[in-house]
Amino acid sequence: MGQFNDPAGPGTEWGALVIDYQNPLDLSTYNNLRVKIWSPKICTMKFKLEGISPAMEIDKTVPDVDQWVTYTVDFSPFAASSFSRIVFFFNAGVNGEPGDVYYIDDIEWTTAPSLPALEDFENGAALFWGPLDGNTVVHGTFNGPGANPDPTGINTSSMVGCYTKGSSPFSTLQAFLPVDFSLTGYPQLNLDVWAPAGSATVTMQLVSPSQGNKEVTRDITATEEWITLNFDFSDYTGITDFGALNLIFDGGTAAAGTTYCIDNLGQSISTADPCEGVEAITNILDDYECQRNYTVFYGSQFLDVVSNPHLDVNNGSTKVGEFSDPANDPWAGLGMETVIPIDLTLYNQLSIQIWAPMETPILFKLQGGDGGVTEVWDTITTPNTWEKFLIDFSAPNGSDYKQLVIFFDGGVSDPDPHTYFVDNIRWRRSSYNGCVDDHETTNTTISNWKYFANGHIEATGYPFAILDNPNPSGINTSSKVGEFIKAGDGDPWAGMFADLDAPIDFKGNKTMRAKVHMNHIGNFALKLENSAIGEPNIEVSVPNTKTNEWEEITVEFPTATDDAQYRRLTLFFDLLINATGEDVTSYFDDIVIGDGECLTVSAFERPQVEYFRIAPNPASSFVRIENAEMVENLVVLDATGRPVQQLRTYGEQDVEVDIANLPPGMYILVGYNPNGALVANGKFVKN
């Protein structure tokens, strides 16, 4: 057994025992922590998992003293996260007293409890299965229970159910759920699926008479073998009248006569990664949730991801970073390193929110480039609230920086430790000028347009949409454009506005240009609003002269002052023209402020994203890509989307990637061509 002597005296309330595995824990199956503890007092035991993913903690009350008690701590809701340490807090949150001794023994990981299967077909069908509405022509036929056509791999059971699609591309198999079906406590449905070659997706719908269908779609990761798909319905646990379950195989694909097999339908706690499918936004360093796009090279022992203890209107984030600044260490800090050098040409304003317990100096430092370091000092002036900082790095002393270091209480040797909270660390642009909205890249796309005064379009919450160019010809052959719909019942001044994260700077040329595509003669208008220095709003409309083709319109703002710092841009089609009674759709693209041009990404030339051929897979020391000839730069992302490795490939066809130093787990390979466009991706597993 192990003996833990709890430290005594002030500041000892978080004395802890740590088990560091160095590598990520596999919690996919064994995710319940079982441990025996002997305690000398009634207290709270805190069990915490730490590592790459945000830390998770669970408290247990110790009701019995001076005896061994077995505790089981269920970490299965976090099975998809990545942890490498277990931390035990004895008498958590309370200062220790002299003589406090705890004992611990038989620490083990066990499997989580599970519910009986809803359907396994072994003793007949537990649920009633059949085509939707009983329509066999449109929705196919169900055959089951029947013999397992492939009793190998993960499913060697004798009996399964098989379904053949009907004539509809959305051919649907339906089952009626038990009357006591509930998602409470077990919001995930798991299903074994055998799909033929070429299959891509399975959509599961839960049918509620009061709330309608709620659906989750999962990719088919392998065909002609049994796989288990997990459908997480955690967002719908409040619905209590689900009565039926629908399955749609390869929805939208006309594949009448294609047969799929299913088995072992059951419920479980959620194992889904909440960040699955979230693409990394490279100018965000850390939001302590899904955008964690760096590695900590300095001060990791002082940083934890915790639930936001100061949730308010200034910061509504669920998770934040907690930095425990130690006593008597004037240069303790948080060092963040990116795989790719930080590009400061456009995004050079560091934005960060900090909650501090006191007024104190703070130092922001860029280093690791080919020149000297760049340091910017600031001061925390409003303690005990979330304070936002915008640090100007537009004039660095070098380039190719990969490291940012933040020193809390910088340079001060304080005899007392302090706790700071940080969040939403990202790079922002200093101003808007040149090409600002061509809908092709993150840097040149305004995506937060919102409709106003626009009748049913606004009332129903119709979102702004970026679509394929409906007419890639003439002056605009680009791939993507913005859509504007003027509702038939909208006001004459119906439009869209976008709040910008930096001010407009004309740099002397007080014009804006945009390409528009309209099916009628009317006008296009732009409005500048929310001046930081109180300048009046400016609104200018210009008639269009062409229909059903792209036309560039120039809007002039001669009365705008040089430093008005407008931070809201509003656009209109047919400003002050009455709605027609029918919805009218127009398109816009390539909004340019002042001088400059938008580079066209042609709809005819847009590179197609290919799949890498990767071998071996799984692998332990290296993987080989056999079709990398279109790739100039290769980036390895971990399962959270965080870059962990970069390689220049220079268009070589066969490329080897050294993965020996990566922790075990799943990784994503993404390849970019010399123009920076994504052209290929793939996945591999590191043993």
Phi, then psi, of 324 in degrees rounded to 5: -95, 95
**Closest-CA residue to 584 (of 627, 547, 634, 534):** 547
Residue 505 CA to residue 597 CA, distance in Å, equals 15
Q: Which two structure tokens, joined as six digits, stand for 376?
A: 């910017």
**Closest-CA residue to 418 (of 310, 352, 329):** 329
Q: How far apart are the first and last CA of the chain?
A: 32
Q: Side chain identity at 268, as an amino acid letter?
A: S
**Closest-CA residue to 495 (of 440, 534, 537, 438):** 537
Residues in the chain: 687
**Closest-CA residue to 548 (of 656, 632, 458, 476):** 476
Query: CA-CA distances (angstroms) from residue 351 to 45, 135, 423, 424, 428?
Result: 37, 57, 10, 7, 7
- Beta-carbon contacts of residue 396 (< 8 Å; ≥ 6 apart): 344, 348, 366, 369, 371, 374
Q: Which two structure tokens, joined as six digits, stand for 399?
A: 């380039």
pLDDT at 686 (0 to 100)? 84
**Closest-CA residue to 473 (of 465, 481, 482, 464):** 481
Q: Which two structure tokens, joined as six digits, stand for 37?
A: 């503890």
- Beta-carbon contacts of residue 235 (< 8 Å; ≥ 6 apart): 214
Taken in order 122, 127, 128, 132, is the CA torsion positive or negative?
Answer: negative
Taken in order 394, 398, 402, 408, is the CA torsion positive or negative?
Answer: negative
Residue 440 CA to residue 28 CA, distance in Å, equals 38
Within 10 A of 235 (CB to CB), how many other CB atoms are there? 11
Half-sphere exposure of 667 (CA within 13 A, CB side): 31
What residues are paired with 159 via a beta bridge?
147
pLDDT at 259 (0 to 100)? 97
Residue 117 CA to residue 189 CA, distance in Å, equals 10
The residue ranges of DSSP E strands in 224-302, in sequence order, are: 226-232, 244-249, 259-268, 284-286, 295-298
Residue 37 CA to residue 51 CA, distance in Å, equals 24
pLDDT at 523 (0 to 100)? 97
Within 10 A of 213 (CB to CB), how many other CB atoms are there? 12
194 within 8 A of 150, measured Cβ to Cβ: yes
Residue 507 CA to residue 557 CA, distance in Å, equals 13
Rg (CA), the chain: 29
Q: Which two structure tokens, joined as six digits, stand for 203?
A: 């959509």
Distance of CA 217 to the CA centre of its chain: 17
Task: Give the 3-state secondary structure percentages of the chain, helix then strand then coil, rounded to 5.
Answer: 5, 45, 50
Residue 347 CA to residue 349 CA, distance in Å, equals 6
Residue 246 CA to residue 208 CA, distance in Å, equals 11
232 within 8 A of 188, measured Cβ to Cβ: yes
**DSSP-assigned letter for residue 449:** -
167 within 8 A of 143, measured Cβ to Cβ: no
Q: What is the DSSP string of 168-182?
A: STT-EEEEEPPTT--
pLDDT at 607 (0 to 100)? 47
Within 10 A of 316 (CB to CB), how many other CB atoms are there? 9
Work out the burial of residue 585: count CB atoms within 10 Å of its CB; fewer than 13 is exposed, 13-18 middle, 19 or more buried. middle
**H or E stretch including 456?**
helix 455-459
* Residue spans of the chain under pLDDT 70: 52, 80, 112-114, 272, 274, 276-277, 397-398, 600-609, 639-642, 674-677
pLDDT at 394 (0 to 100)? 86
Bridge-based pairing state of the strands 622-625 and 655-658: antiparallel
Identify the three-state secondary structure at position 41: coil
Instruction: Considering only the C-alpha atoms of the chain, give the largest distance between any 2 of them, rounded to a whole number of Å.
Output: 88
